[in-house]
Structure 1
Amino acid sequence: MTAALELRGVGKTYPPPTAVTALSDVDLTVEPGETVAITGASGAGKTTLLSILGTLERPTAGTVRVAGTDTSAMSDPQLSAVRAWRIGFVFQQFFLLDHLTVLDNVATGLVYRGMPAGTRREHAARALERVGLADRVRHRPAQLSGGERQRVAIARAVAGRPAVLLADEPTGNLDTANGRQIVRLLATLRDTGEDTTVVLITHNADVAAAMDRQIRLEDGRIVHDSGVAA
């Protein structure tokens, strides 16, 4: 089986005036359908790792493969196509547009696929049903709770049925009850027969424990990986 995501010898160093080494010699393989939590202290390299997995940043060393394809030689437009077709993103902030309905907020995530507006809305409606918000399609974001807005953000990320979902602190702005609901939703995304791979960053031990696999970073290196035998 081809890995969903694969890093080999990946490093990331930011040039002066920052002059920071964010990642060093990272090897990581994530299989289709895995749910993975990345943990570590602030500054450990978690967000940089997620950005490189999602091709939002290029490494300064090593290789990054998405579904077996080496992305190192890809142009920016080619990487944009990889993100548009294969990867969904969920962030701590919801990034919803207040002037659009919930349906149209989700549909905007499909703009870069070149779909007609009507087709985008059909996909968006199915994604909102998938996250339990079929009755909120005509609402505006201001009419929703925090948990509902995060579910809208997840619907936007999965509307195109991406193979990989990357989430950066998706429960960080939510209360405990809503956070648990989001974690359950993320953990069950793969249970659709599509082998959706979920990789998320979290500081919350309960969130991490709900994933199949836990990876801890320290100073830009993986120091623990529950998916790798000792």
Structure 2
Amino acid sequence: MFQNVLIAEDQNTINKGVERTLNELNIPNVITAQYCDDALLKLKAALRIDLPFNLLITDLSFKADHRKRTLTSGEELIEAVKAIQPDLKIIVFSVEHRIGKIKSLIDTYDIDAYVEKGREESIELKKAIHTILEDKMYCSPSIAQLLRNVDDISQTDLYDELLLQLLAKGLKREQIANYFKEKDFPARSLSSIEKRINKLKVLFDAHTSEQLIAIAIDRGLI
């Protein structure tokens, strides 16, 4: 079991809940930080005295307040941590569910687990800890299901993503076709635009353009 765990979370009530969960696992040393800068300082201090943390549990979103910050998000903290302690186990504990964002964290920073905040979060945290102790990656079931569908994203290209962005801004199909013509993009006729939109609807199982945009936002494409 992990011996030294650092929690980076700006909400005190959530901090206390995670601490209780870790206490139930008999983890002897649990330290909390409400700012990413403080979390990094604690990690550095632990390394200096040769008592490094074994696990970091961090949120992604940290609200701004009166204090000046260098690191403003969990992602920035993870990047900084990987630079000084690349073998540190990391659990992201967040409400973020955009699959594009989550996949980026996994691909870029090689995080060890992603646990979605919610009703079963204590159970999921315990499962994540036991799983990564076996050097396996863990995701909450809802996130794991989204990741299984991530091939959908790989089937879109840059023009599809631009098309979705323009739709989300409220542009009509004719306006999008004109924009593509101005930029000399391929498949810029109105019929081509219609075909692209229909392809994306099939790909993402969307029945309307509004639903398509909502799904694209949810999956981190726009």
Same fold (TM over 0.5): no
Who wins on radius of gyration, i.e. which is larger?
Answer: 2
Higher strand share: 1
Higher helix share: 2
Q: Normalising by structure 2, what TM-score?
A: 0.32
Q: Normalising by structure 1, what TM-score?
A: 0.31
